[in-house]
Amino acid sequence: MNDKIKTAMEIAMEKAAMLEDLSEEEKERIENEKKLSPIMAGFYKNEIGPEKIWEKLKNEKLSLLKQAQLNLIESLKFTLEQEELKKRNKGIIAVESLKKDQKTPAIQQGLSMLENLKRQAEAEKNQVFNDFKKAMEKNPQARTRIIDQGGAKIVLKLSAEDAVAQNPQWKQFLADFEKRYEGEFSRITGQVKKYII
């Protein structure tokens, strides 16, 4: 076994050599990431809000502001709760307000579209779930499941909600629903990103 444990000095020398090979833009991005990492971690852990991000970044250069916004935009997912989505959107706008050349109205419009899409999706999902539930309530047979347990057949009576959750048509609806809305959500975040880059 010829493996050698590297000393801290050897590791530092390797990192220094790697840094020499980087372009100025790459070095700046790494420096920005070092500054942003604790700020964004605090934001995502709900230790700080959009106002505090604004405060911490108010005297920073444009490249760092853009990187902060891209970090926030890339964290936007269709599965986020509505309140978390709003908080992250406020963070994006707070950082945008620090730029000299602002595109706030266009970014706000895109972010509002995300919030509206999320609300629309929740309303549609709830409506379809309630339709399935009503159908299950009208059909008691659809709420029974027969389970074979050690040779004995056990009849389970499910609640309407449980019956819907196990229904193959509901599962297919959910799969299609999530694919459709996640695709639209990604498309809109891509548009918003273009205003920042």
What percent of the chain has a predicted confidence (pLDDT) above 90?
73
pLDDT averaged over every residue in the chain:
91
CA angle, residues 104, 110, 114, in degrees to nearest 5: 135
- In the chain, what is the straight-line distance between the N-terminal and C-terminal CA atoms, in Å? 49
Q: Which amino acid is at 191?
A: Q
Which residues does residue 154 pair with via DSSP β-bridges, in sequence order? Answer: 147
Residues in the chain: 197
Secondary structure (3-state) at 184: helix
| CA-to-CA dists, residue 119 to 78, 133, 151, 181, angstroms | 11, 21, 47, 11
Mean pLDDT within 69-74: 96
Secondary structure (3-state) at 157: strand
How confident is the model over 24-58, as pLDDT tens digits? Answer: 888 888 888 999 999 999 999 999 999 999 999 99
- The pTM score is 0.81
User: What is the 8-class DSSP label of residue 48?
Assistant: S
Secondary structure (3-state) at 68: helix
Residue 1: what pLDDT?
A: 45
Secondary structure (3-state) at 22: coil
